[in-house]
Amino acid sequence: MNSQIITPLSHNIIEAAALLKSGRLVAIPTETVYGLAANALDDRAVAKIYELKNRPQFNPLIIHFAELRDVDQHVVLNEKALRLAKAFWPGPMTLVLPRKESSPISLLASAGLNTLAVRIPNHQVCLEILRHAQVPLAAPSANPSQSLSPTLAEHVALGFKSNPNPPMIIDGGTCSIGLESTIIDLSEETPVILRPGAITPEAISAVLGEPVALFHETSHRPKAPGMLLRHYAPTLPLRLNVSSVNPDEGLLAFAEPVPGDALHMLNLSITGDLTEAAANLFKLMRMLDHSDCKGIAVMPIPKTGIGLAINDRLERAAYQ
Ligand code: TXA
Ligand code: MG
């Protein structure tokens, strides 16, 4: 059962980094909890995270970096962000910031949002993996959906023990914090703590010189956890589960396209591969949304495995 737990010797770290860069998943230690990491620039690799975790929804993921100058390439580091970064990075703090147009980070990793959640973890093994991989790493907690976040390599192994394809796990010992990072949304005027963690509201306020609200205390935002995120929604109307397409519509196809002369046609996966479809979803939805179509017609996607998350996302997009 423990066969895939690997000691963090230099050559193993280099191998893990190479695997990550090439699109494979590796469970990595951080000071908060173990993360299930993937190359954040690679849509296919990010899709595998949702698949392995069996997540029925595409929640946006935290993107991990080794250096502040790397973070700077992908998000707009405003003054508040720089102050918090100086005070708490590397460390158990995640900042939600506006994404730079030029950032090549997978749209699936950020669930199509215009913001990115970024952090520099404080764990030597993790930082070494990040430096060797030379790509940012998207990493949610390394547990199957609905189960507890792992703080030991053995916990990660247990979580995925019945999986035919368990990830390599780099053993970094017990996570010193043991609780997920504090998430602070700095993408709007008022900073808001979206998830409490080891970095306290008091500590954040002291650095910023202004009070920070906990998410549930702010009355101007919805309270239900499911509403926590502003989701990406296309501006064009979306028609789901279509069996034919109209000439003024863009067709978001899956496998063999339905009959009809669509204005544009983009295929989520010609071979009917759900992981590939997930990897392409936000990218292709955006392309059609920015085209001269009058609406987007989406073919039925099987509601199995990662197809559940694809359908969840499409239904939300159609509803808004
Ligand atoms: O300590 C941690 O943060 C761990 C380690 C592995 O770094 N990671 C972690 O990831 O807890 P995860 O996927 O379990 O939690 C990420 C949460 C999402 O559920 C979402 O609420 C929030 O981060 N998030 C990510 N991107 C966001 C964005 N653009 N806007 C708002 N919230 C975001
Ligand atoms: Mg989690």
Residues 39-80 have pLDDT tens digits of 999 999 999 999 999 988 899 999 999 999 999 999 999 999
Ligand 1 atom 20: residue of nearest CA: 60
pLDDT tens by residue, 286-307: 899 999 999 999 999 999 989 9
Give the model's pLDDT for residue 216. Answer: 65
Contacts of 43 (CB under 8 A, 6+ apart): 106, 107, 108, 279, 280, 283
Q: Which of 113-117, 195-199, 267-271 has the lowest mean pLDDT?
A: 195-199
Token readout for 286 is 């955006």
Mutate to test the pocket of ligand 1, among 180, 181, 186 (most ligand atoms within 8 A of CB): 180
**Paired tokens of 247:** 């000439």
pLDDT digits (tens, 9 = 90+) for 3-45: 599 999 999 999 999 999 999 999 999 999 999 999 999 999 9
195 has a pLDDT exceeding 60: yes
Instruction: HSE, CB side, 13 Å, CA atoms: give it for residue 152.
Output: 4
Q: What number does the ligand 1 atom closest to the CA of 119 have?
A: 7
Q: pLDDT tens for residues 104-160? A: 999 999 999 999 999 999 999 999 999 999 999 999 999 998 888 999 999 999 999
Ligand 1: residues whose CB is within 6 Å?
30, 32-33, 35, 59-62, 94, 96, 110, 113, 115-117, 121, 139-141, 180-181, 183, 194, 228-229
**Among the atoms of ligand 1, which is closest to the Cα of residue 139?**
6
Instruction: Measure the CA–CA gap between 134 and 139, rounded to whole angstroms.
Output: 15
